[in-house]
Amino acid sequence: MNNKSIVYFTDFSSSARNNFFDRLNKILKKLEISNLAPKNAIVGIKTHFGEGDNVSVVHPFYIRKIIEFIKPYGWKVFVTDSNTIYVGSRVNAVDHLNLAISHGFSWTTLQVPIIIADGLRGNDYREVEIEGGNFYKKVKVSSAIANSDALIVITHFKGHIVGGFGGALKNLGMGCAPRAQKYDMHANMVPKIKTENCIGCGECMKWCPSGAIKVINKKAVIDPKICIGCGECISACPQRCVKIPWDESPANTQKKWVETAKGVIKSLRSKIFYINFLNNITPECDCMHYSDKHIVSDIGVLFSYDPVAIDMASADLVNKSEWNKGINLDKKNLSDDKFKSLYPEIDWRIQIDYAVSLGIGSKDYELVKI
């Protein structure tokens, strides 16, 4: 009996008789993605719009073509991402949408709406109970995702400072979470005020749901006994003087985003399809405001209903590729394990093995090339 998950793969080659986009459409039909949801279902496409001057994300033209392929299914499609906890270009829905438009994601390019999944300030979510986790009994899932009928997760596969790599599991767990859940995945401590920048305006106090913040002597003060770690103050502060204590271990953060991913899967009743793009593979996440040199040449695109299998196959394909020349790494420390070479202190297999233990998917896969 074959218990391997099926992962379809095609490279980026194209010709008049063998068009790349024709192959994408062929794979979607072969995997019967039309059965993901009935006609008139609301279906989200979860992607990443990139931060600042980052140009390594999945290009909107690719997403536009996938939208064109699924339009005959009669779904009500929207494209989405959730806000960040760090202060950048995506900390609230207004800035996030402006950033998305500047990077080419708009109604004009996609012909569908863009909806920020966790609302204006990142506090719009549903709580979902999960079983078997070591960290959570309930996880918070961004409402626009939790309330959808189905989800297509389009991921740019790349290196990641916490996970070794960021793939479908990270896009599902971290990417579909609202601010409070993101904060908990990253840290266990109370946010801290940079008092030298604080002007005592009280905006953070207005948005604190637990009343943990007071303004004393024209400076905001957070009571650690009352703070619930939601991260609202990070977004609310106009002076950007609330610091995130990035003190959670990488291993625990990986496990937490896997548990959160389980909640996302449950909220959507497993009506999720995964697409990983293996191009522009940078050492760091697309949350960086820049794009570094690619570590390997462009490989191709993978498709699966199993987020574990597609990430495992993606990692294997990257590790089998040759290092690009001129990358900014110590050549003596380069090995076939690209992600271990990038982050020697990170074990990227933790997220894979933990997801398997929670019944999310299988790391045993059959790669079908088209």
- pLDDT tens-digit series, residues 241-300: 988 777 778 899 999 999 999 999 999 999 999 999 999 999 998 888 888 889 999 999
Inter-CA distances, 230 with 176, 180, 247, 329, Å: 16, 4, 16, 37
> What is the reported pLDDT for 189?
67
> What is the reported pLDDT for 252?
92
Q: How confident is the model at residue 2 (pLDDT cuts 50, 70, 90)?
A: low
Each residue's pLDDT tens digit, 78-100 = 999 999 887 778 989 999 999 99
Give the chain's length: 370
Of residues 211 and 3, which shows the higher confidence score? 211
Q: Specify the range with the lowest mean pLDDT, choosing from 47-56, 243-252, 340-349, 354-363.
A: 243-252
DSSP-based three-state secondary structure for 319: helix
Per-chain mean pLDDT for the chain: 93
Distance CA 93, CA 90 (A): 7
Q: Specify the range with the lowest mean pLDDT, choosing from 82-91, 135-144, 161-170, 215-224.
A: 82-91
**Cβ atoms of residues 358 and 266 within 8 Å:** no
Q: How confident is the model at residue 129 (pLDDT cuts 50, 70, 90)?
A: very high
Each residue's pLDDT tens digit, 223-232 = 999 987 777 7
Q: What are phi and psi of 18, to 5 degrees?
A: -140, 70
Task: With a cut of 90, say whether residue 190 has pLDDT above it.
Answer: no
Exposed, middle or buried, 326 (CB in 10 Å: 0-12/13-18/19+)? exposed
Each residue's pLDDT tens digit, 301-323 = 999 999 999 999 999 999 999 99
- Measured N-to-C along each axis, helices 349-357 and 307-320 cross at an angle, to the nearest 10 degrees, of 160
Please tell me whether the overall predicted TM-score, pTM, comes out greater than 0.85 for this model.
yes
* Domains of the chain with bracketed CATH: 5-185+249-369 (3.40.50), 190-243 (3.30.70.20)
Of residues 333 and 41, which shows the higher confidence score? 41
> What is the reported pLDDT for 1?
43
From the list 25, 12, 62, 18, the residue with the least C-alpha distance to 300 is: 12
From the list 49, 89, 114, 87, the residue with the least C-alpha distance to 183 is: 87
Task: With a cut of 60, say whether residue 77 has pLDDT above it.
Answer: yes
What residues have CB less than 8 Å from 289, skipping those under 6 apart?
51, 52, 53, 54, 88, 89
